[in-house]
Structure 1
């Protein structure tokens, strides 16, 4: 894959229309209380302008991901609202690691190290594993 093709696929992964999804409908302060109640010992990150990206993976990679108790889905968010672990300032973008659990009705996405609170509406998309993991 050449650079132009990689950039095009990365653009599609981040900005294509996708399937609309609802997120957490709580106010930010209420969302913090809820995520702390449900995941008391885990860092959390409130985000807006988010997308769930289902990763297209080779069979061997999918097997490794699933054996580790995770799923080939990540969150990409264009806007950090608040990050309890201070990995990025408000307004920056963030990409999660693979999904451990998700509660679509509450707008919560759990990775190995963080619970993401998906504030407001977002989208769901599909993209190649290598393209999404190259975004950092």
Structure 2
């Protein structure tokens, strides 16, 4: 893949059209209370302007991800509302690690963090190499 193709795929992963999804429709305060109730021992991150990205990966990489008990899906959020671990300031962006679990109420769980997907977002796919190059 040449540089122009990689830039195009990165742009698409960040800003391209996707399938509309609905996340957590609670207020920010209620969403924070709910994530603390449901996941009392985990760090959490409330986010907006998010995309659920299904990773296109080679079979070998997929096997490694699945053997670790995770799925080849990440969250890319353009706006952090609150990060309980203080890794990201409000207004910054964040990319999760691989999905461990997710529910229809807008809670996406990675190995170390619960992401509360506030409001509406999208679902799209992108190559693993492109998504991991975004930092």
Same fold (TM over 0.5): yes
- The 3-state SS of whatever aligns with 2:81 is strand
In the other structure, the counterpart of 1:122 is: 121
- CA deviation vs aligned residue, 1:32-64 (integer Å, no higher than 9, x gap): 111011110000000000000000010000000
1:26 partnered with 2:26: yes
Shift of the alpha carbon at 1:2? 1.6
Stretches (4+) displaced over 2 A: none
Q: Which whole-Å CA distance do the structure 2 matches of 1:83 and 1:99 have between them?
A: 18
Q: Which whole-Å CA distance do the structure 2 matches of 1:85 and 1:131 have between them?
A: 26
TM-score normalised by length of structure 2: 0.99
In the other structure, the counterpart of 1:74 is: 74
Q: Which whole-Å CA distance do the structure 1 matches of 2:39 and 2:2 have between them?
A: 42
In the other structure, the counterpart of 2:57 is: 57
Q: Which whole-Å CA distance do the structure 1 matches of 2:7 and 2:89 have between them?
A: 25
In the other structure, the counterpart of 2:101 is: 101
1:44 partnered with 2:76: no
- The 3-state SS of whatever aligns with 2:92 is coil
Shift of the alpha carbon at 1:76? 0.1
Q: Which whole-Å CA distance do the structure 2 matches of 1:85 and 1:102 have between them?
A: 20
- CA deviation vs aligned residue, 1:68-94 (integer Å, no higher than 9, x gap): 000000000000000000111100000
Q: What is the number of equivalent residue pairs in this alignment?
A: 135
Shift of the alpha carbon at 1:111? 0.3
| Structure 2 runs not aligned, ≥5 long | none
Report the aligned-residue RMSD: 0.5
